[in-house]
Structure formats: structure tokens, C-alpha cells
Chains A and B, each alone.
Chain A
């Protein structure tokens, strides 16, 4: 329907609000109002002018609560949740898909030493690339350039439903940070496991005092030498114990002197 002229819109709005509009005018107003924004604004302007910009009483407290709940019910389903779980899910989705493609390419290569096949065409030049494959390669090419919505749509088009898929969740500016966060999490776990293993290792009984406290049966009269206090590095402690207990000549020939002090005691 063609837009009404300003004068015609004013006349229709005025006649309706004052009760002078006939049935034909009301029908015309109804049909034009959906398309003609001027007519709606004219109706509002005349109403505001009549009430001198003083709005009448609005919603009651109970109605406010009801409206809040109903508006929330409208807005809530339209919010796209991007929680940590969803982000990791998307990351794993994107990393899992290229694997079969690489595995499938290997049998085609005649020799393992041969140079790998050239990478597929860049993402932005390949309209048929499905599921956002190669998005990791795309990021360094244009890290900050805004991607056209068509390109984003084609990148995400196959994998996600158009109504629900966040179009640029993995290729957006937050993606490297999230990857870093995941990496830091993994490194933290590794460090935790390492420190636990080190603590267990430190808690084990040391072998050297056991050797010093239990003399071999071939020297029953030998006075039990007091176990030296463990000082210095572990290899120095082991050398001192062996020199005290069995004599220098009992040192295995294969073991070279490891400290200058030990080297000085050698013949």
C-alpha cells in the first residue's frame, strides 16, 4: 500500500481520535497503519498533544510483575548461551573434523618423507569448505578484519542450524583467549600431577642410611660407624659412605671420582 501524505495521515488520525471517522476511514486507517510509520507517529503525536505530554497512569505493581515475567519469557529463548562448556564443545567439534581429512590424504602420498601435500585453498577463497574447517588457518590471515556476514554464514552454515548457531563464536576475537585458557588449564593439571609425584618421591626412605646402619656379615667386629649426616648433593653423600665403610680400594673401578675432594684421596 502506498504511503499516505502527511496531510492525509493527519486527517485520518484526527478523525479517528475525535470519533468523526466513518467506517471507510477506520478501515483505511487499519490497513495503512501496518505499513505507514508516519500514520502511527501522527496518532501518537495527536494523543500526546491532547494530553499535553502528561502520560496517564501506567501499569500497577501487579501488572509490572506480570509484564516483567512475560517479557522475560519473550527474551529468554532468544539469548544464545555461550558458557564455558559450550565453548569447549565447539572447540572439540572444530578440532575433531579435520582429522579424517588428513588421515585420508596419507595413503595417497607415495613416500612418508615426501613433502606434505599443499594445504587446501584458503578458507576465504573456498566457497565449498564445510563446517568451518581451516578456521585456525584463517585467523592469522586477517586477525582483526571484520568478516562479512555472508562469509561467516557459509563457514558455519553446515554445522549449525541457522536459527540457533552463534555465527562467529569460534572465529571471533575471544577465540585465542579461550584456547589459551584451555591450554593454561591443561598445563596447570600437568604441574599439579608433577608436584604430587615429586612429593611422593621425596617421601620415600633413602637407601644410603640403610647401607651405613647395616654392616655386612664379613666384618662383624667392626664398630658401627655413625651414619654421616646427609649433606650436599646426593652423589657426594654416596661417595662418602662408600669410602667410610668399605675403603677406597673397594670402590668399583668403573666409578670415576666425581668431586675434587674424592679425586685427591685416590692413589
Chain B
């Protein structure tokens, strides 16, 4: 069945075309979503959401001019992006909280006037006291300076998993610092 036949058959409610639309692309859609969200709890929802987008788009706007797999890749990326943006927002919020925390430690305030530099000093001082699995991630991100994409590559995981692990590691460090300084 060609892509055109699948598009038009699916719009017409043809069962074989609808099945072919899902069966022939299911692995591909899962793979695209896994690049962004592999290991995250939102992955199943993204796969289902991709097909929901595809079927709704076919109903409302007709057949696209792109090949089926390329079109679904785009839809899968669009479906994954809100989760990525939410994780990004969580990370930014946590960065601000860490800066506030470092600003409450008199020694760090004396050492540096820059909020980001204080956080860096705080991490260096307490990184040995956090669990090992967090220490590795925090070291790569905060001490080696790897950004999220490089972190994902180094860890062999998705962007969302890299971000989740980084957030969890920083949370463990924050908890350790609060306990140490009674904050």
C-alpha cells in the first residue's frame, strides 16, 4: 500500500488503510519519541498522541504532501515538545532555587558576587556527599560543563532522561546543603 493509498483510505475510514497507517509506522514513531522521551513516563502518551494528531489532521486538513514516515516524525516531535519544554522550565526554576540557596550561605557570598559562580562552588563543596548515581551526572553537567545534549550522548539516554537525572541530582545536592547548613 502506498502512502497516498494509506492517506486516502484512512480518511475514508478504510480499515486496512488505518491498520497499515499504524502497523507500518509504529516502530518508527516509537523510535522518534524515544529520542526525546525514552525512559520518561510520558513516552506512551506521546506515541498515542502522535497517532491522534495524525488522524485528526487527516480528518480536518486532508492528506499531507509529505511521505508518511517523515510526516509522522514531525508530528511525533511536535507531540514530544511540550514535555521537553516543561522539563526545561522545571530545570530553570530549580536553577533559580539553587542560586537563592547559595545566596543564603555566608561563606559563598563572601567568595563571589556572581550567583551562578556561587552555585558552582556549592556543588564542588558538597558533591562528594551525595549518592553515587547523582554524583556522576552532576559532575558531568556542573563541573565538566556538558550541556544536556552532550549529557544525553554520554549517558546513552534520551534528552528527557538526561534532564530528569540532572534535576534529580541537583535536588539531592540541594537537600544535602540544606541539611548541612540548617536552611
**Which among B19, B148, B156 is the interface contact of A56 at CB below 8 angstroms?**
B156
Is the pair B51, A51 in contact by a Cβ cutoff of 8 Å?
Answer: no
Interface centre among A30, A50, A80, A167 (most CB of B within 10 A): A50
Selected from B10, B78, B149, the residue in CB contact (under 8 A) with A17 is B149
Alpha-carbon separation in the docked complex, A68 to B59 (Å): 21
Closest chain A residue, CB of each to CB of B48:
A70
Q: Does B14 contact A80, Cβ atoms closer than 8 Å?
A: yes
Decide: A17 near B48, CB < 8 A? Known: A56-B161, A57-B38, A58-B34.
no
Decide yes or no whether B178 CB sits under 8 A from chain A.
no
Say if the beta carbon of A48 comes within 8 Å of chain B: yes
When distances are taken between beta carbons in the complex, the residues of chain B under 8 Å from A30 are 81, 85
Chain A residues with Cβ under 8 A from B13's Cβ?
78-80, 166
Q: Quick check: is A119 within 8 A (CB to CB) of the other chain?
A: no
Residue B22 at the A interface, CB < 8 A? yes
Instruction: Please give me the residue from chain A that is nearest to B27 by CB atom.
Output: A58
Give the residue among A44, A55, A56, A66 with the most B Cβ atoms within 10 A.
Answer: A56
Q: How far is the CA of A18 from the CA of B159 in the complex (A)?
A: 10
For the residues of A in contact with B, the DSSP-based class is: helix
Give CA–CA (A159, B51) in the complex, Å.
31
Fill in one digit per residue for B52-89: 1 if any A CB lies within 8 Å of its CB, else 0: 10010000000000100010011011100100110010
Q: How far is the CA of A41 from the CA of B69 in the complex (A)?
A: 12
A19 B77 Cβ-Cβ under 8 A: no
Residue of B nearest to A43 (CB): B77
A33 adjacent to B43 (CB under 8 Å): no
Would you call B108 an interface residue if the criterion is a C-beta within 8 Å of the partner chain's C-beta atoms? no
Interface string of A16-45 (1 = CB under 8 A from B): 111111000010011001100100110110
| Nearest CB in chain B: distance from A79 CB, A | 4
Whether B51 pairs with A74 at a CB distance below 8 angstroms is: yes
CB neighbours of A54 from chain B (8 A):
156
* Chain B nearest Cβ from A30, distance in angstroms: 6
Chain B residues within 8 Å of A20, by CB? 147
**B38→A44 contact, CB < 8 A:** no
Cβ B147 vs Cβ A47 within 8 A: no
Specify the chain A residue showing the minimal Cβ separation from B15: A79
B158 adjacent to chain A (CB < 8 Å): yes
Judge whether B77 and A41 touch: CB under 8 Å. yes
B44 contacts A74, CB within 8 Å? no
The tally of residues in B whose CB lies under 8 Å from a CB in A reads: 48
Q: With A and B bound together, what is the CA distance between A59 and B43 in angstroms?
A: 7
A46 proximal to B (CB < 8 A): yes
Q: Is residue B102 contacting chain A, with contact meaning CB distance below 8 A?
A: no
Min C-beta distance of A87 to chain B, whole Å: 15
- A75 near B: Cβ within 8 Å? yes
Query: Assuming the A-B contacts A18-B148, A26-B85, are A56 and B34 also in contact, with contact meaning beta carbons closer than 8 angstroms in the complex?
Result: yes
Q: Which of A16, A30, A52, A78 has the most CB of B within 10 A?
A: A78
In the bound complex, CA of A16 to CA of B81 (Å): 10
Tell me the bound Cα distance from A80 to B157 in angstroms. 41
| A120 to B10 CA separation, bound complex (whole angstroms) | 36
B74-A37 in contact (CB<8A): yes
- CB–CB A167/B38 < 8 A: no
Tell me if B14 and A56 are in contact (CB < 8 A).
no
Q: Considering only CB atoms, which chain A residue lies closest to B163 in the complex?
A: A19
The verdict on A56 contacting B35 (CB below 8 Å), with A17-B148, A30-B81, A50-B153 known, is yes
Which chain A residues numbered 136 to 169 have a C-beta less than 8 Å away from chain B?
Answer: 166-167
Contact surface of A with B, Cβ cutoff 8 Å: 16-21, 26, 29-30, 33-34, 37, 40-41, 43-44, 46-48, 50-52, 54-59, 63, 66-67, 70-71, 74-75, 78-80, 166-167
Q: Which 3 A-B pairs have the closest CB atoms?
A: A56-B38, A80-B13, A18-B147
A-B contacts, 6 listed (Cβ < 8 Å): A19-B147, A51-B35, A54-B156, A56-B161, A75-B19, A79-B13
Given contacts A19-B88, A34-B78, A41-B74, 13 further A-B contacts (CB under 8 A): A18-B147, A26-B85, A30-B81, A30-B85, A50-B152, A51-B153, A56-B156, A57-B38, A57-B39, A63-B44, A74-B51, A74-B52, A75-B55
